[in-house]
Amino acid sequence: MDFLVKHYNRAMHTYKDNPSTIARVIASHIAFDKYYSLTDRAPLYAAAILLHPSLRKAYLDNEWKELSAQRNVDYVQIAVDACAMLWKAYKPLDTQRQADLSSMNEYQQFRYRAFKGISKDDEFERFIKV
């Protein structure tokens, strides 16, 4: 989607002197904006980027910084906060409260101790920062 935003901006500049083509570009851009605006309601696009092992938060910091500066809105933090809310709603219970180790099998106890000792950050926060 980020590529398409830049593509539309370039097309508007490239075809500014061609009325029939610019009309088609504008019509296409309007349709694109309709669906792009839906990403504000459900942060699935941002979640897909944040959870992509090669992209994560660094991609958003890099790609969205210009737009955030232009509009004086921190879109990256808004996206991260929205995804964190999704994570909190669906994360496993043993990461939400102090676990009862006696009710866990040996592997679950190992996993709990390993993740608990790494950081005080939530698993989601650790993942997107790497």
Do the domain assignments include residue 23? yes
DSSP 8-state symbol, 105: -
Residue 120 belongs to a domain? no
What is the enclosing helix (H) or strand (E) of 68? helix 65-71
Task: Note down pLDDT in tens along the chain; length 130 residues.
Answer: 889 989 999 999 999 999 999 999 999 999 999 988 888 788 889 999 999 999 999 999 999 998 889 889 999 999 999 999 988 887 765 544 556 778 888 998 888 777 765 555 677 887 888 6
Give the chain's domain count: 1
Is 61 part of any domain?
A: no
Domain membership of residue 73 (yes or no) is: no
Q: Can you give the pTM of this predicted structure? A: 0.65
> Quick one: CA dihedral 48, 50, 55, 61, positive or negative?
positive
Q: Is 31 part of any domain?
A: yes
Inside any domain, residue 21 = yes
